[in-house]
């Protein structure tokens, strides 16, 4: 006949109870960590949906290089970064972009009062008083411009004005390389000879 050992049975019962409590504690801790991650993800989604940036940087400077050579420098007073499906960086107070040649000299420059850069597509869209100036001093004025980093080109579907040493060209739309040395104006509206315009202005009493 089996004899009961009360002391041994109590030890087994205590051990089983401790194991059960530890298991419950592990499960509960895991749930807490899981809920923490979920809440973080929910907060990020909520911020994007409500229009708040996930990250803000002030007085920022970004360099883009090719084969260890700096090709582009971007400066902005404020950069608001948004994560998610459409990851992007917005420049609500404007942007200043400089393009460099092989010797490190400034080839061209883009400025605007507002811009957004789409990370995946490598596109920057500039709006509101957009100005492009190349190394020859030729200037483009428009209200909308897109810089394609992959294609190394800039283009616009808005009204454009190009001022050179000899003429002023007005048109709707433009396609150019990013250093603004080879460009094509779409749907030209008018071309004004600068010298003739100056002579005409001088003759006005």
pLDDT for 24: 45
pLDDT surpasses 80 at 160:
yes
Please give the tally of structural domains in the chain: 2
Q: Are residues 35 and 95 in the same domain?
A: no
pLDDT for 202: 56
Q: Are residues 138 and 189 in the same domain?
A: yes
* Structure tokens given for 99: 């393009």
pLDDT for 85: 84
Backbone dihedral angles phi then psi of residue 138, each to the nearest 5 degrees:
-70, 140
Pick the most confident of 27-36, 41-50, 53-62. 53-62
Residues 6+ apart with CB under 8 A from 137: 165
Q: Are residues 156 and 70 in the same domain?
A: yes
pLDDT surpasses 60 at 108:
yes
pLDDT surpasses 90 at 46:
no
Q: Are residues 83 and 167 in the same domain?
A: yes
pLDDT surpasses 80 at 38:
no
pLDDT for 97: 97
Q: Are residues 32 and 91 in the same domain?
A: no
Q: Are residues 151 and 186 in the same domain?
A: yes
- Of all residues in the chain, the percent with pLDDT exceeding 70 is 71
pTM beyond 0.85, yes or no: no
Q: Are residues 30 and 126 in the same domain?
A: no
Q: What does the pLDDT look like over 61-92, one tens digit per residue? A: 999 988 888 999 999 999 999 998 889 999 99
The domain of 165 spans: 55-203
Higher pLDDT, 93 or 45: 93
pLDDT for 47: 53
Return the beta strands (E) in 67-180 as ranges.
Answer: 69-82, 88-91, 95-100, 106-112, 114-118, 123-134, 139-148, 153-163, 167-177
pLDDT for 165: 93
pLDDT for 52: 87
Q: Are residues 39 and 75 in the same domain?
A: no
pLDDT surpasses 90 at 195:
no
Pick the most confident of 21-35, 47-61, 150-164, 188-202. 150-164
CATH of the domain at 161: 2.60.450.10
pLDDT surpasses 80 at 166:
yes
Q: Are residues 40 and 138 in the same domain?
A: no
Q: Are residues 43 and 60 in the same domain?
A: no
* Structure tokens given for 203: 């003759």
- CA 42 distance to own-chain centroid: 23
pLDDT for 68: 84
């Amino acid at each position: 006949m089996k004899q009961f050992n009360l002391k041994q049975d109590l030890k087994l019962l205590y051990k089983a109870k401790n194991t059960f409590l530890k298991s419950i504690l592990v499960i509960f801790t895991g749930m807490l960590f899981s809920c923490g991650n979920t809440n973080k993800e929910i907060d990020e989604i909520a911020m994007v949906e409500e229009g708040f940036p996930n990250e803000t940087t002030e007085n920022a400077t970004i360099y883009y290089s090719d084969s260890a050579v700096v090709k582009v420098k971007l400066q902005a007073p404020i950069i608001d970064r948004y994560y998610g499906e459409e990851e992007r960086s917005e420049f609500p107070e404007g942007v200043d972009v400089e393009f460099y040649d092989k010797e490190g000299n400034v080839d061209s420059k883009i400025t605007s009062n507002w811009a957004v850069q789409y990370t995946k597509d490598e596109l920057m869209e500039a709006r509101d008083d957009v100005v492009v100036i190349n190394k020859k001093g030729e200037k483009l004025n428009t209200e909308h411009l897109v810089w394609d980093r992959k294609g190394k080109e800039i283009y616009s579907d808005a009204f454009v004005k190009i001022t050179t040493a000899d003429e002023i060209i007005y048109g709707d739309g433009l396609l150019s390389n990013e250093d603004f040395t080879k460009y094509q104006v779409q749907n030209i509206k008018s071309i004004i000879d600068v010298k003739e315009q100056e002579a005409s202005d001088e003759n006005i009493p």
